[in-house]
Structures are given as C-alpha cells and as structure tokens.
Chains A and B, each alone.
Chain A
C-alpha cells in the first residue's frame, strides 16, 4: 500500500486517450482519402486503446490509498474497516457494473456496426461501369454533332439515362477520333443544352447490342453549350467561356469494337487546347460537379491525379 493519502482515486492523467482519438480520426479521414491511412489509423487505435485500457485497469490491481484515516469523523466506517480493505482490491459491484457496460457495448457494437456499415459503405464502393455500345460508327457522320441518349446501366433502368454530345473527327493516325462530351454541367450537374439547331425529325432510334434503346439526334451548327440552371457557358470543345462552372465539361473514353462505337468510362477535364482530333485534353479522374481539379482551390478536394 502506498504511503500518504493525497493522491485521488481516479486513474492518473494519461496521454493514451489522445493517441486513441488521433487513431479514430485517422480511420475516418482515411475512409475518404485512402485505405493505407485507415490501416495506420486502425493500428494507432488498437495500440493506444490497449495502453489506455491497461492504464485504467492498473488502477484496480494496485489498490488506492485507504480511506479510513481520511474520514475519522464517521464511526460507522471504522467497524467496517476490514471489509472495506478487502473490497477495495476489486469490489464485486464494480465488476458487475463493468461487465454490464462492457457486454452491453459489445452487443451494441455487434448490432450497430454492420447496420451503419450497410447504410454508408455501399455508397463508396466502386461499382464499375459496363461498356455502352452505341451502334455502328456510320451513325456519326464526320464533323457533325449528335445528341446521344443511352443508359449508364441498362439493368437499373431509365433512372440511369444520360446524354452525350458526340462528333466524329475523322481518322487521326489511322485511328477513328471522336469528341464525346458529357452533358453534365461542371457547375452543379444540370444538363447543358447544345447551342445549335436540333433536328428532332432526323432522330434515329435503334436497339444496341446491349439490348437498350439508343437515340441519336443531329444538331446543325453547334457552336456552344449552355446550362439552363445558372447560365454556365462552354465552347464546342467544352471549355468554360462564362458563368459559374469551375472547369470544362467532362468527357468519355471510347473504343471501336467490331465497327461499333463503345463508351468506356468518363473523366473530368480542366481545359482543352486545340480542337477535334488535334485537341490536347488536360484529363483528371472523374470528380463531382463544382469541384476544382486545378488551381489553388484544388486543395479543398480529394487529390485528383492528372491522367
């Protein structure tokens, strides 16, 4: 037993909870930013959690200073002194309290963690993107813009319906070259409209090999894209010319398969220099509307490696 009675009964001040908290923060930030950070955070949490629990439980193995001498004014305690000293080693009530709280927390965690995970994690799992077959290349005459409707995931129905503006640029280095611009405005995601004469009577509807309906409508004299929501404007290469958008319009990668034009995946674009087949596109990984991919503001968003 320790001599002197000035120390308190509570556990001594400790730095372990701070490390524990840093670990938790690391895990949460890592969930957004990168998986290795999650691993580091988990390790920190485990190590500091273990140290913390060891520290707290040590308080019971070395009994606190006796209370008898401090409170001599209560005579009832004096008669019960042998009992208290025995109980002070590890009182049964404390054990039961800890067991109830601990088991309760464990049961709660077993129920809560999968439920919350089910609500949150699927939103962050990359579900991939099936190739979208837009039919024969002949549907896209050289130098003409085509409004093309298709479904991102035909299995999920019309809610995944999207629009791309497609222009065939002819052959470049013996490879067919396309300009395929997403209609999602880079400001807040409204559908941008083509600045040109739309010819709905020349719309071609066709069943693609994927089984979905593709509709292709020509536009004559397309010179710009404009967003109806907040007036964001773009030139025909998707460069921002006016209004609130923070970058250019997103584009699609594509391939030619058995003479058909097939969309693969979309990516974000800061600016485009040049036009058509000779365009130099500053590509970035796909990001949400309104998020900067370049310039000083990019530090506010997850890092986008140029691709």
Chain B
C-alpha cells in the first residue's frame, strides 16, 4: 500500500515535471516559427476552411508543402485544434506537447508490463520527463513525438494482447497509425513487427490468438492502404531519395557499409549522447546535450547490466531490440546523429540508465545511504531542471531565434499597418517566407489556392516542379529586382543582406521599419521605394 502510494506520487511528479517542462511558454519558446511549422499549420488551416490543402488537393495522403512531402498525421491533428486555440505557434506545437505527455504514463505502464521491478518503470518515466531529447520534440512542431507515442502504444497493446487476444487488434491499429506519422517509422514499425512475430509466433498462431491476430493484420493493412497507394510515387520517396547515404556515396558498397556502420554506432556512443548532442540548431538546445552528463556512468553501467543480467526477461528483449533497430532509419540518412530520426532510441537508452540507477538503489541496504541517495537525487533533479530552464528559455531564445525564423510575426504586424493599395515585395532569395506570411495573416485559403498554381492536381505526388513566386493579396514573394523595383511605388521587405543600410542610402529608400532578433542584430527591414528622389540619369 505504502509502495503503491509512493509510486503514484512519483508518477504524478513525473507528469507534473513533464507538463511544466513542455507546456511553459509553449508557443513562445523557441522564439519564432520555423518554416515547416508554419507550413503544417497553414495546411491544417486550409483543410479546415476548404477541405483542401493550399495546393487545392482534397485530404492529401502526404502533404506536398515544399516538395518535401510532409507526413499527414500531425497536420490532421492540428485541424481540430484551430477552432479551439486559433491559428498560432501554440496550436501547431500542441500535438507534440500532448502526445509527449501521454508518452509518460504509457512508458510506465509498458515497462510495468515487461518487468516485475517497481523501480525501473518509475525511474524511466522520471528520466523521460526530464529528458532534454524528449522535451525538445515535446515543445516543437516535429512529427516524431506523435509517431513515438503510437509506436509505443502499439508495443504496449501487443503485450496486453498476448493475455487478452482482442487487444491485438488495437495494437495493429496503433502500429498502422505510427507508420504514416513519421518517416523513420516506415522502417522501425515493420522491423518491430517482424521481431515481435518471430519471438511470439507460437502464441500468435495458436488457437486463441489466431483470429484476432488475422483481423488485426487485415485492419492494419486497410489503414495503411492510403499510404501504400502512394508509396511508389516520387513524392512519397522524396525524403528517402534525397537523404540516403547510398546515393551520396555513388552506390559504392564499401563506402556505404562503412558510413552506415559509422552512423549507426554514433547513436550509441557516449560522446554524442552526453557531450556533442545533435549538431542541428533546431534539434538541440545550447549547452545541453541529448542526455545529461551525470547520466553517463549510469548508461555505461546499465549497458553492462543489460548484457550480463539474464533475469530481465521481456524487459531485456524489448530494450535490446529497440536499441538495435532505433538507429537504423537515422543511420541510413547522411546527417550525423540526427535525433529527430532516431527519437525512438530515447526509450531504450533511458531504460538502460534507469536499470543502472535501479540496481544501485536496490543494493543500498542502509537507511542512511538510502536517505543520502534520495537527497542526492533531489539535488540532481533540481539541477537538471535548472539546466533545462537555462538552455531552453535563456540561451536558446537568445542565440537560436534566427534558426527558428524569428521575426515573421512582427513583420506581418507591420504589413497590416501599411497602405493596402501599394504592392509589397518580400525577398525570397535565401528563404521561403510565404508559409509564415499566410500563416500569420490567416490568409483566406480559397483566395490563396486561386492565385497560386504549382502543378495539376493529378500530378500532386509525381511532379516535382516548384513555383517559388507566390501571390498573397498585394504581397508577392520573389527576389528583389533592383533595376525594375526601384521605379515602382512599392514596399520592399528583406533581410540584412537583401536590404542593407548602404542600399537604403544609395537607392533613396524610405525606411519603414526594422525587426530585430533578440540579440539585437537586424532580422528584417521594410522600406518603401522613392523613385521621385532617384537621379534622373539612372
């Protein structure tokens, strides 16, 4: 009874910490709204208002976007949130937050199913609640966290299904949702299903389980049918084709094998996990790696325990297979240590750390030692939370605002105050700002669909042509053409390189407004042309 109460309290603590670390300033930090976040948000907005995405496609299976063909689940999850929370950064990040919180009790129940130990499930849940890796993708619009939830739910329901066969159907549904939820799940889920089938084939093909197993397979296949129907199109394969290591190595098998193994190993090594972290400015926080440095000795000891201890049963099996297949999709792509693609790995690596902590805790017989351990743990927890605060809300917002496309909300606010009769040109030489503009303007999707044409709808998944010039009412996104634009009365908008102070002077431009990054460097300038002031001989 006492133990149950303690576990309930610790689980509640984990969820409270999880909510705090993910919900606090959800729409404000990271500062800005990245291009993909805005694109997903507007696709959802367009679907809500017209039943079509911004290209006019009715309920797409994968979203064309910048011809990177985004996975659909996340976008469809945003749709019902827009009437509730309006179209905002908060709304587009909310599904990540919501499912990352749901993952906390889910991992607790899954591990409780796999092991009799009371410690390992609760320690893992607490570690996941404070995990920098899981927090990052729990407060930003990345599809991987939603996919992780459905993947874990699939495994949990599978183990429940081994006892109550009908639940196998729910497991199949969950796995089927995970596949289109994020690109890497297209590899992870099938591999997981093969491993689980091989391990439990005698049970699954037995009298009691066979019927729900077959029903589950059929239902899973039916749910996957839309995905399968576009699986061979260039659009669906776009990401894999562009990122895989085999094309980059010119099909050289030796180089590809070497690179794959090198990348694979990089996901399991302490140096990346505890020191370097992800190199991407949006997939990491400054001064914070994927795991806390204090977890490193536990990780090494936990690995040893995982290999050595033969009594871990199902927990050992699940941890090892998740650990081994987790890096595969990421290692097939060129980026070193891509934490987005390898997110499922956060689970087995936290289990390994929890295994070490749990084992040490078990060996503490003396009450004084136990008390000291509890005090030390509390100290580490407070330090870790403070470190998270420092990295996410202080350093990241200051140094990484530029990478999160900070400034467009402010730009749109200014645009709204400008004379609507005068055209506006937004420079797109170095970025594609149209998605952020239509997002913050909440531009009418019907008008946008009419004014902008990219490819015929029957070539939505197959034609990779792009039209970079976009028309948004009186706003056009294109490169500034100084030779022509200077002689038209219009507003020009661009970054520091597009519109420098020298250009303003030289072209007699009227400075309307400047948007600054949090570090006070110039993000964007808005000017008005002044052709009457130009020298006559120009």
Tell me whether A and B are bound partners: no
Residues of A bordering B, CB below 8 Å: none
Residues of B bordering A, CB below 8 Å: none
